[in-house]
Structure 1
Amino acid sequence: MNRLFFALIIGLTGVCILLWLGFWQVDRLAWKEGVLAEIEARIAADPVALPETPEEERDKYLPVAVTGEIGEGELYVLVSRKQVGAGYRVIAPLETDTGRRILLDRGFIKTDKRAAARPTGAAKITGNLHWPDDRNSSTPDNDEAGNIWFARDIEDMARVLRTEPTLVIARQTSLADTGVTPLPVDTSAIPNDHLNYAITWFSLALIWASMTGFFIWRTTRQKDA
């Protein structure tokens, strides 16, 4: 009897803990979806003028409209697109009408288009300020000599292109037939795995309850026998 009571207590305790973790992840899912909705609304808002002194905490994802001259010189960030394959993000200098020199993420080209000429000169850019977090523990060091970058390290890119460390990721440009496909800012790179976590915890709760029930049933059968 004591053995069955102990098994029942352990079983119920485990199920309650696992269910609590599952419902906690459901709450986290609702919170994360709200955060993503706020970010998406901010990204799609009406563009404003480029702030005089952009700040990451205040201005991340801020939509801006910038007019200026796209300059010579490009940096190539190695990326991959689904159903397209490997390619590069093209980072170029942009000198604004107000005399500032900033970084412009023009978008995506395939690897075999790296040497192709792309139009420069006067352009109006609509995009978003961003401070991308591309680097993790497994990201290789950038090959500045070979001009192959594995992360958009803004400070280093600004040093190489002699700009201020301000990055605008293009959404639209007034230049026609640039040969570059814009990769605008979105929320796809922001992880949201809370639903999977919730399903995992609820599944474990079901398994735990089933194992507890099976143990009690088998123990009862053995006693009857």
Structure 2
Amino acid sequence: MANAALALCAVLAFSGFVALGNWQVERRAWKLDLIERVNGRVHAPAVAAPARNAWPAVSRDSDEYRHVSVRGTFLSDLDTRVAAATELGTGYWILSPLQRFDGSVVMINRGFVAQGDPVASVPAGEVIVTGLIRLSEPGGGVLRDNLPAEDRWYSRDIEAIAAARNLAAVAPYFVDAAADAPGSPGGAGPVGGLTVIRFHNSHLIYAITWYGLALMVVGAAVLVCREGRREGRSEGRREAKRR
């Protein structure tokens, strides 16, 4: 009875570990496909950013990091500073609203400025900004929540920023401006073109780990069976001597 229970546990453990390994293999294939698709979006020619009627269909899988262009006029004196840590150090992202001809607004991340550095004003008149689509980051940063009442921002929460600035018809995404985009002058700040595209992809390691555990179950089962047989033969010899 005990042997049967151990065998059942071994089969269940082996099946579970193999299933987890297979799942990680599938996740790895999905992640590699996502990386390939994102790289294609980043390096493709810029297309028009999603218009207002297309906003409900905007998603992370299909649109994030898409290379786009936006035409409009910056709304002055409505910059928002969002805490940031970049390769240039700690400071702020500068988000500025850009109003399009239809009245809708797209938030533009003009780039990074270090703490204490001046922020160049938005350019006047109609401009065309190119960059990468990013999806809103609701709630706050990793360690701190946004504090709209104090105008303290730790994530680029577009809906909350728009509400704090009394802006209507704001796109559910923002655009990371390219280094040479209007309003991103570089040395005078903000510095654009600092988007970091990085995907965590440890699925192969996880798969190997699960498959390794499955093999360990098989190995343990073999050892138990051998030990059981050895004990059975020893018991048989002892029984024969008694006779």
Same fold (TM over 0.5): yes
Partner AA of 2:46 in structure 1: P
CA positional deviation for 1:8: 4.5
- Between the aligned partners of 2:91 and 2:21, the Cα distance in structure 1 is 40
- Which of residues 74, 86, 92 is equivalent to 2:79? 74
Give the letter for the 2:191 counterpart: T
Q: Once the two structures are aligned, what percentage of the paired residues are identical? A: 25
Aligned-residue Cα RMSD (Å) equals: 3.3
**150, 153, 156: which is aligned to 1:149?**
153
| One-letter identity of the residue aligned with 1:28 | R
Higher relative contact order (CA 8 A, sep 6+): 1
Question: Which residue of 111, 119, 128 corresponds with 1:117?
Answer: 119
Question: Matches of residues 89-104 of structure 1 in structure 2 within 5 Å?
Answer: 89-96=93-100, 100-104=104-108
Between the aligned partners of 1:30 and 1:158, the Cα distance in structure 2 is: 38
Which runs of no fewer than 5 residues in structure 1 stay unpaired?
none
What corresponds to 1:159 in structure 2?
163
Give the TM-score of the pair, scaled to structure 1: 0.75
Question: Greater Rg, structure 1 or structure 2?
Answer: 2
Q: Deviations over 1:172-218 (max 9, x none)?
A: 41453342333565652x55443343123112213322332333344
- Residue of structure 1 in register with 2:175 after alignment: 168
**CA distance in 2: counterparts of 1:23 and 1:222, whole angstroms:** 37
Classify the secondary structure of the residue corresponding to 1:30: helix
After TM superposition, the score normalised by the length of structure 2 is 0.71
Whether the 8 Å contact between 2:94 and 2:110 is mirrored in structure 1 is: yes
For 1:78-129, what per-residue CA distance to the aligned partner results, in whole angstroms no more than 9, with x for missing partners?
2333x6553322211224467654311112233343xx23242145310133
Matched pairs, number: 220
Unaligned runs of 5+ in 2: 235-243
2: distance between equivalents of 1:108 and 1:217? 66
Match of 1:130 among 119, 134, 137: 134
Contact 1:88–1:109 under 8 Å retained in 2? yes
Matched position secondary structure for 1:208:
helix
1:181 alignment counterpart: 191
